Structure 1
Amino acid sequence: MLNNPLVLGIDLGTSGLRIAIINTKKKLLYTSSRSYPKSLEFCEDWINCLRNLIQKIPIDIKERLVSCSVAGTSGTLLACRTNGEPIGQALPYFLTSSLYSNEINKLFSKECAGSSTSGSVGRALKLINLYGTKILLRHQADWVSGWLLNNWEYGEEGNNIRMGWEISNSSWPKSFQNLNWINCLPKIIPSGQLMGNICSKKADELNLPRNIKVIAGTTDSNAGVLATFPKKNDGVTILGSTIVIKKFVDKPLLGKGISNHKILGNWLCGGASNAGAAILLDFFNLEYIDELSKQINPNKYSGINLIPLSKQGERFPIDDPNLQPKLEPRPVSDSLYLHAIFEGLAKIEARGWQKLQELGADLPRQIITIGGGAKNITWKKIREREIGIPIKICNRPPAAGVASIALQTLL
Structure 2
Amino acid sequence: MVDEGAGWLGVDLGTQSVRALLVTADGTVLGSGSAPLTGRRDGVRHEQDPLRWWAALCTASRAALATAPPRPPVGGLAVCGTSGTVLLTDHSGRPVSPALMYDDGRATGEGARARRAGLAVQDTWALPKALWLLARYGGTSLRLTHQPDLIVSRLTGESPPADSSHALKTGYDLERDRWPEAVLAELGVPDSVFPGVVRPGTLLGEVCPAAADATGIPAGTPVFAGMTDGCASQIASGALRPGSWNSVLGTTLVLKGAARDPVRDPTDVVYNHRAPDGTWLPGGASSVGAGALAAHFPEADPAEMDGPAMAFEPSGALAYPLVSPGERFPFRAPEATAFVLGDPAGGADLWAALLQGVGFVERLCLDYLHHLGAPLDGPHTFTGGGARSPYWNQLRADILGRPARVPEQTEPALGMAALAAYGASGSDALADVAERMVRVRTVLEPRPDRTAAFAEPYARLVDALRERGWLPAPVAAHAHRRLSRDTSAS
Q: TM-score, normalised by structure 1?
A: 0.88
Cα separation, 2, equivalents of 1:24 and 1:392: 21
1:28 corresponds to = 29
1:291 corresponds to = 304
Which SS does the other structure have where 1:93 is aligned? coil
Structure 1 residue 209 displacement after superposition: 0.9
1:362 corresponds to = 375
1:157-196 deviations in whole A, cap 9, x for unaligned? 0111111212221111253352432322221111010111
Structure 1 residue 250 displacement after superposition: 2.2
Instruction: Verify the 8 A CA contact 1:158 1:218 in the aligned structure 2.
Output: yes
Structure 1 residue 298 displacement after superposition: 7.2
Instruction: Verify the 8 A CA contact 2:242 2:260 in the aligned structure 1.
Output: no
Alignment partner of 2:396 out of 383, 387, 394: 383
1:328-384 deviations in whole A, cap 9, x for unaligned? 999683333322222232233222212222222023454211122112122223322
2:237 corresponds to = 228
1:59-96 deviations in whole A, cap 9, x for unaligned? 64587213110011111222333333334432222234
Cα separation, 2, equivalents of 1:299 and 1:205: 54
Q: For 1:78, give the aligned amino acid.
A: L
Larger Rg: 2
1:148 pairs with 2:152: no
1:262 corresponds to = 274
Aligned residues: 407
Instruction: Verify the 8 A CA contact 1:317 1:352 in the aligned structure 2.
Output: yes
2:258 corresponds to = 248
Instruction: Verify the 8 A CA contact 1:21 1:29 in the aligned structure 2.
Output: yes
Gaps of 5+ in 2: 41-45, 427-490
- Root-mean-square deviation (CA), in Å? 2.9
- In the superposition, relative to structure 1, how do residues 2 and 227 fare at CA in structure 2: closer, same or farther (>3 Å)? closer
1:409 pairs with 2:424: yes
Cα separation, 1, equivalents of 2:158 and 2:342: 51
- How is 1:9-408 mapped onto 2 (pairs within 5 angstroms)? 9-38=10-39, 41-42=47-48, 43-56=50-63, 57-58=65-66, 60-61=69-70, 64-96=73-105, 97-108=107-118, 111=120, 115-134=121-140, 135-176=142-183, 178=185, 179-181=187-189, 182-230=191-239, 231-255=241-265, 256-265=268-277, 266-284=279-297, 288-297=301-310, 300-326=313-339, 333-396=346-409, 397-407=411-421, 408=423
Which SS does the other structure have where 2:414 is aligned? helix
- In the superposition, relative to structure 1, how do residues 103 and 330 fare at CA in structure 2: closer, same or farther (>3 Å)? farther
Structure 1 residue 127 displacement after superposition: 1.3
Cα separation, 1, equivalents of 2:355 and 2:327: 18
Cα separation, 2, equivalents of 1:405 and 1:286: 38
Gaps of 5+ in 1: none
Deviates more, 1:79-88 or 1:216-225: 79-88
Which SS does the other structure have where 1:41 is aligned? strand
Runs of 4+ in 1 over 6 A off after TM superposition: 327-330
Cα separation, 2, equivalents of 1:124 and 1:357: 34
Q: For 2:23, give the aligned amino acid.
A: I
Cα separation, 2, equivalents of 1:306 and 1:246: 24
- In the superposition, relative to structure 1, how do residues 401 and 354 fare at CA in structure 2: closer, same or farther (>3 Å)? same
Cα separation, 2, equivalents of 1:327 and 1:87: 45
1:84-128 deviations in whole A, cap 9, x for unaligned? 33344322222344323431123326x4xxx23342222122212
- In the superposition, relative to structure 1, how do residues 51 and 287 fare at CA in structure 2: closer, same or farther (>3 Å)? farther
- In the superposition, relative to structure 1, how do residues 166 and 365 fare at CA in structure 2: closer, same or farther (>3 Å)? same
- In the superposition, relative to structure 1, how do residues 254 and 247 fare at CA in structure 2: closer, same or farther (>3 Å)? same
Cα separation, 2, equivalents of 1:318 and 1:147: 40
Instruction: Verify the 8 A CA contact 1:28 1:400 in the aligned structure 2.
Output: no
Instruction: Verify the 8 A CA contact 2:317 2:340 in the aligned structure 1.
Output: no
- In the superposition, relative to structure 1, how do residues 305 and 360 fare at CA in structure 2: closer, same or farther (>3 Å)? same
Cα separation, 1, equivalents of 2:3 and 2:367: 48
Which SS does the other structure have where 2:247 is aligned? strand
Q: For 1:393, give the aligned amino acid.
A: V
Q: For 1:120, give the aligned amino acid.
A: A
